Amino acid sequence: MNAPQTASTVYIVDDDEAVRDSLRWLLEANNYRVRAFPSGESFLAEYDEQRPGVLIVDVRMPGMSGLELQEQLIARKSSMPIVFITGHGDVPMAVSTIKKGAIDFLEKPFDETDLREIVGRMFEQANERLSQAQAQREHEAMLARLTAREQQVLERIVAGRLNKQIADDLGISIKTVEAHRANIMEKLQVTTVADLMKVALSKPEISV
């Protein structure tokens, strides 16, 4: 099994160089790795889902706004946590971004304690999302090893069917169902039905 991937970089997107420099200084002083961009367009040009991190972005910018950048990341199914930088007049707008998945917003001028607390919370969420995504990929890889018949048996186990019912459904013997169940448990690396259900239900196509 591969080592868990962890988020390690704070990405800053703001057209104001002074704000970028201020945030960079505060974050690097707290031992964070920082990459800064002057626009949403320049960030997206280098954006790589394989390099996880957290994003701090200004709500209002020339060209692509922070809200539009959030929409772009949502469309790309990005799991990157976002915090918005706002001026006083932008607070209601920032609140609406939280409803779309943003974690919080930072109001100018920045308070270093608030910044540390929010960024720490962002990294906790980023790494939790990464762990979930990695587990999902591992489950999908294990499920892909099942034969077509094993998939059919698994779908019926998930649906709560008994061995005899599965045998009747598929026109096979109970012993054959039991053999398939044993193979499924081995391939999915589980020892209990509860764990089997967790792996099976991680794949959208298999549902009760």
Q: What is the 3-state secondary structure (H, E, C) of the chain?
A: CCCCCCCCEEEEECCCHHHHHHHHHHHHHCCCEEEEECCHHHHHHHCCCCCCEEEEEECCCCCCCHHHHHHHHHHCCCCCCEEEEECHHHHHHHHHHHCCCCCEEEECCCCHHHHHHHHHHHHHHHHHHHHHHHHHHHHHHHHCCCCHHHHHHHHHHHCCCCHHHHHHHHCCCHHHHHHHHHHHHHHCCCCCHHHHHHHHCCCCCCCC
- With tokens 């929010």, the residue in question is 118
Rounded to whole angstroms, the Cα distance separating 203 from 200 reads 6
In the chain, how many domains are there?
2
Q: Output the CA–CA distances (angstroms, integers) from residue 35 to 9, 78, 131, 196, in the order listed.
A: 7, 18, 23, 41
pLDDT 10s digits, 85-138: 887 666 676 666 676 666 777 888 878 888 888 888 888 887 787 777 777 778
Residue 99 sits in which domain range? Answer: 9-134
Close Cβ partners of 113 (under 8 Å, ≥ 6 residues apart) = none
Q: Output the CA–CA distances (angstroms, integers) from residue 15 to 93, 102, 113, 114, 200, in the order listed.
A: 18, 20, 24, 22, 46
Q: Are residues 29 and 129 in the same domain?
A: yes
Q: Are residues 14 and 117 in the same domain?
A: yes
> Do you know the residue count of the chain?
208
Q: Are residues 97 and 183 in the same domain?
A: no
pLDDT 10s digits, 55-92: 999 988 999 998 899 889 988 888 788 888 887 666 67
pLDDT at 163: 92
Q: Are residues 121 and 25 in the same domain?
A: yes
pLDDT at 164: 93
CA angle 43, 46, 48 (to 5 degrees): 110
Domain-terminating residue out of 91, 106, 134: 134
pLDDT at 3: 42
**Which among 69, 49, 48 has a CA at the least distance from the CA of 57?**
69
Domain-terminating residue out of 134, 161, 181: 134
What CATH number has the domain bearing residue 159? 1.10.10.10
Domain assignment of residue 205, yes or no: no
Domain assignment of residue 4, yes or no: no
pLDDT at 94: 65
- The mean per-residue pLDDT over the stretch 9-31 comes to 91
Domain assignment of residue 207, yes or no: no
Q: Tell whether the model's pLDDT for residue 193 goes beyond 90.
A: no
Q: Are residues 185 and 110 in the same domain?
A: no
Domain assignment of residue 1, yes or no: no
Domain assignment of residue 2, yes or no: no
Q: Are residues 59 and 102 in the same domain?
A: yes
Domain assignment of residue 81, yes or no: yes
Pull the structure tokens for residue 150. 């094993």
pLDDT 10s digits, 125-159: 877 877 777 777 787 888 888 899 998 999 999 88
Pull the structure tokens for residue 143. 């499920």
Domain assignment of residue 120, yes or no: yes
Q: Are residues 67 and 155 in the same domain?
A: no
Domain assignment of residue 115, yes or no: yes
Pull the structure tokens for residue 144. 């892909």
The structure's pTM equals: 0.63
What CATH number has the domain bearing residue 106? 3.40.50.2300
Q: Tell whether the model's pLDDT for residue 4 goes beyond 60.
A: no
Q: Are residues 130 and 162 in the same domain?
A: no
Q: Are residues 33 and 81 in the same domain?
A: yes
